[in-house]
């Protein structure tokens, strides 16, 4: 293990001051499930580690039509919270499928964003929910859509002095159904060969709006706008869903590994987008939600 100095700010102002002072020399520690492995492998070698666990203000979860999730809420909290299950079931459904209960107990939602590993499950779900990330530096506070948050492999729009404070999920439009499906040919706690989050919002018998986002399909979580565009104003017949799903083949840019070749992952992206669309459509037709 590399050497570093561990700082543990008592509140967000102290944390932001430490980030402003040490910037590029520092890494922020939330649950540690991503970062500690990178430290052990010397893939990151910060001089300072800024531990956030005393920032109680970032552990809040509230709902008033909009769901506000403190950046330090764990994925286990989101999986088990009645508030999340009732109002944003897609997020609970997604977090339940993350790795193992040990990882979900430690890993935070803010961490899943900042870490920016494209194999993670929560980001595609947040994208189809039109979620926004609230980010603070000592000078300013800003909100960025999760869709625009990721810029490259393990890279985000975060400046060295910025901290994620909150994830905001607006109310879903009426007539919406959502689904998250994950293809796991190896083990249940593995990263996906491909993961798909979708939302179908119906207006009568036609699709008013669709969202499709994938994990493990490119250098960043990937929004498949070509599929979304093809679905708009259509009646969601199996043929329409199949033909729209086929368009994802040109959008994905997967990496070959033991979970599949590039060609296989491309094919599976099509299959699993189609399945996710069918599930979300059925749920929208049944009255929405994920149930």
Partner 1 sequence: MRTLQLRVNGEPVAREIPDNRLLVDFLRYDLGLTGTKEGCSVGVCGACTVLLDGQPVSSCIALAVMADGCEVTTIEGLAEDDRLHPLQRAFIEYGGFQCGICTPGQIMAAKALLDVNPHPSKEEIQGWMMGNLCRCTGYYKIIESIQAAAEGKGVS
At residue 101, the 3 state secondary structure works out as: helix
Least distance in angstroms from the C-beta of 31 to partner 1? 9
* Nearest to partner 1 of 36, 144 (CB atom): 36
234-242 long-range contacts (CB < 8 A, ≥24 apart) are 234/206, 234/207, 235/205, 235/206, 235/207, 236/200, 236/202, 236/206, 236/207, 236/277, 236/281, 238/278, 241/274, 241/277, 241/278, 241/281, 242/274
Among 9, 26, 27, 33, binds partner 1 (CB under 8 A): 33
Report if residue 143 touches partner 1, rule: CB under 8 A.
no
Could you give the string, one character per residue 42-81, with x where binding to partner 1 holds by CB under 8 A and - elsewhere? -------x-x-x----------------------x-----
**Which of the ranges 29-37, 63-71, 146-154, 162-170 carries the binding residues for partner 1, by CB under 8 A?**
29-37
Report if residue 82 touches partner 1, rule: CB under 8 A.
no
* Nearest to partner 1 of 40, 232 (CB atom): 40
Residue 44 DSSP label = -
Strand runs labelled E in 124-216: 132-136, 141-145, 150-152, 155-156, 163-169, 176-183, 194-203, 206-215
Least distance in angstroms from the C-beta of 45 to partner 1? 11
At residue 167, the 3 state secondary structure works out as: strand
Number of residues that bind partner 1 (CB under 8 A): 28
Report if residue 100 touches partner 1, rule: CB under 8 A.
yes
Report if residue 258 touches partner 1, rule: CB under 8 A.
no
- Cα pseudo-dihedral 48, 49, 55, 59, rounded to 10: 150
**Which of the ranges 27-35, 120-128, 210-218, 219-227 carries the binding residues for partner 1, by CB under 8 A?**
27-35
Which two structure tokens, joined as six digits, stand for 251?
């959008």
Report if residue 2 touches partner 1, rule: CB under 8 A.
yes
Length of the chain: 291
- Residues interacting with partner 1, by CB under 8 A? 1-6, 8, 29, 32-33, 36-37, 39-40, 49, 51, 53, 76, 99-103, 105-106, 187-189
């Amino acid at each position: 293990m590399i050497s570093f100095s561990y700082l543990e700010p008592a509140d967000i102002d102290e944390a932001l001051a430490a980030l402003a002072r040490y910037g590029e020399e520092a890494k922020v520690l939330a649950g540690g499930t991503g970062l500690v492995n990178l430290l052990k492998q010397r893939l990151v070698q910060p001089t300072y580690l800024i531990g956030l666990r005393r920032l109680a203000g970032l552990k809040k979860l509230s709902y008033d039509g909009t769901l506000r999730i403190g950046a330090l809420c764990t994925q286990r909290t989101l999986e088990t919270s009645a508030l999340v299950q009732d109002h944003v079931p897609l997020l609970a459904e997604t977090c339940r499928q993350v790795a193992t209960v040990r990882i979900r107990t430690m890993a935070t939602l803010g961490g899943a964003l900042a870490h920016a590993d494209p194999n993670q499950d929560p980001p595609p779900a947040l994208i189809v929910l039109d979620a926004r990330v609230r980010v603070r530096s000592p000078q300013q506070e800003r909100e960025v859509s999760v869709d625009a948050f990721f810029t490259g492999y393990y890279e985000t729009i975060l400046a060295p002095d910025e901290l994620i404070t909150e994830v905001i999920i607006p109310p879903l439009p009426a007539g919406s159904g959502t689904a998250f499906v994950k293809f796991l040919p190896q083990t249940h706690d593995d990263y996906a060969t491909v993961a798909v989050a979708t939302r179908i919002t119906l207006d009568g018998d036609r699709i008013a709006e669709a969202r499709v986002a994938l994990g493990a399909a490119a250098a960043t979580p990937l929004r498949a706008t070509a599929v979304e565009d093809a679905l708009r104003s259509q009646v969601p017949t199996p043929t329409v869903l199949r033909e729209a799903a086929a368009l994802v083949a040109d959008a994905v840019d997967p990496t070959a590994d033991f979970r599949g070749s590039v060609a296989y992952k491309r094919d599976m992206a099509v299959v699993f987008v189609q399945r996710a669309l069918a599930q979300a459509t059925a749920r929208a037709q049944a009255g929405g939600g994920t149930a």
